[in-house]
Structure 1
Amino acid sequence: MLDTSAAQVPTLSLADQASDPDAFAQAFGTSFQRFGFAIVADHGIPQDLIARAWAETEALFALPDAEKRQYHVTGGGGARGYTPFKTEIAKDAKHVDLKEFWHVGRELPAGHRFADTMSPNIWPTRPEGFRDTFVELFAAFDAAGDRLLSAIARYLKLAPDWFDPAVKDGNSVLRLLHYPPIPADAEGVRAGAHEDINLITLLLGAEEAGLELLDRSQGEDGGRWLSIKPPEGAMVVNVGDMLQRLTNHVLPSTTHRVVNPPPERRGHSRYSMPFFLHPAPDFLIETLPGTITPENPNRYPEPITAHDYLYQRLVEIGLIKP
Structure 2
Amino acid sequence: MNVLVVDYRDPEAPARFTESLRTTGFGVLKNHPIPQSLVESIYSEWLAFFDTEAKHRYAFSRETQDGFFSTAISETAKGHKLKDIKEYFHIYPLGRYPAEVSDTARRYYAIANDVARELLSWVDANTPAQVKARFSMPLSNMIADSTKTLLRVLRYPPLTGDEPAGAIRAAAHEDINLLTVLPAANEPGLQVKDSVGNWHDVPCDFGTLVINTGDMLQEASGGYYPSTTHRVVNPTGEGRFKSRVSLPLFLHPRDEVVLSERHTALSYLDERLRELGVKN
Tell me whether the two structures share a fold, i.e. TM-score over 0.5.
yes
Q: Select 1:68's aligned residue among 55, 77, 80.
A: 55
Identity of aligned residues (%): 35
Q: Select 1:39's aligned residue among 10, 17, 28.
A: 28
For 1:304, what is the secondary structure of its paired residue?
coil
Q: CA deviation at 1:97?
A: 0.5
Q: What corresponds to 1:28 in structure 2?
A: 17
Structure 2 unpaired stretches of 5+? none
The residue type paired with residue 141 of structure 1 is: A
Q: What corresponds to 1:294 in structure 2?
A: none
**Does the CA-based 8 Å contact 1:200-1:238 persist in structure 2?**
yes
Q: Deviations over 1:35-55 (max 9, x none)?
A: 100111122111222222112
CA distance in 1, matches of 2:67, 2:61: 11
Q: Select 2:70's aligned residue among 76, 79, 84.
A: 84
- Give yes or no for the alignment of 1:317 onto 2:276: yes
CA distance in 1, matches of 2:62, 2:26: 32
Q: Deviations over 1:110-155 (max 9, x none)?
A: xxxxxxxxxx31121213x2xx212211011101101110110011
- Give yes or no for the alignment of 1:208 onto 2:187: yes
Q: CA deviation at 1:253?
A: 0.2
Further displaced range: 183-192 or 148-157? 183-192
For 1:226, what is the secondary structure of its paired residue?
strand
For 1:266, what is the secondary structure of its paired residue?
helix
Q: What corresponds to 2:251 in structure 1?
A: 277
Q: What corresponds to 2:262 in structure 1?
A: 303
Q: What corresponds to 1:48 in structure 2?
A: 37
Q: Select 1:10's aligned residue among 4, 8, 16.
A: 4
Between structure 1 and structure 2, the one with the greater Rg is 1
Structure 1 unpaired stretches of 5+? 1-6, 107-119, 217-221, 287-301
**Does the CA-based 8 Å contact 2:186-2:244 persist in structure 1?**
no
- Give yes or no for the alignment of 1:179 onto 2:165: no
**Does the CA-based 8 Å contact 2:28-2:208 persist in structure 1?**
yes
CA distance in 2, matches of 1:25, 1:270: 30
The residue type paired with residue 153 of structure 1 is: D
**Does the CA-based 8 Å contact 1:98-1:179 persist in structure 2?**
yes
- Give yes or no for the alignment of 1:233 onto 2:207: yes
Give the direction of change, closer, same or farther, for the CA distance of 1:60–1:76 in structure 2 (3 Å limit).
farther
Q: What corresponds to 2:47 in structure 1?
A: 58
For 1:168, what is the secondary structure of its paired residue?
coil
CA distance in 2, matches of 1:237, 1:59: 26
Q: Deviations over 1:161-191 (max 9, x none)?
A: 9223211112210100001111335220000
For 1:139, what is the secondary structure of its paired residue?
helix
Which runs of structure 1 show a deviation greater than 4 angstroms over 4 or more consecutive aligned residues? none
Q: Select 1:135's aligned residue among 92, 96, 106.
A: 106
Give the direction of change, closer, same or farther, for the CA distance of 1:82–1:207 in structure 2 (3 Å limit).
closer
The residue type paired with residue 304 of structure 1 is: H
| CA RMSD after TM alignment | 1.8
For 1:30, what is the secondary structure of its paired residue?
helix
The residue type paired with residue 31 of structure 1 is: S
For 1:70, what is the secondary structure of its paired residue?
helix
Q: Deviations over 1:257-314 (max 9, x none)?
A: 001011442111111100001111111102xxxxxxxxxxxxxxx3311011111101
CA distance in 1, matches of 2:217, 2:2: 22
**Does the CA-based 8 Å contact 1:179-1:270 persist in structure 2?**
yes
Q: Deviations over 1:22-67 (max 9, x none)?
A: x322211211111100111122111222222112211221112xx2
1:193-272, aligned counterparts within 5 Å? 193-206=172-185, 208-216=187-195, 222-272=196-246
Q: TM-score, normalised by structure 1?
A: 0.79
For 1:57, what is the secondary structure of its paired residue?
helix
- Give yes or no for the alignment of 1:149 onto 2:120: yes
Q: What corresponds to 1:97 in structure 2?
A: 84
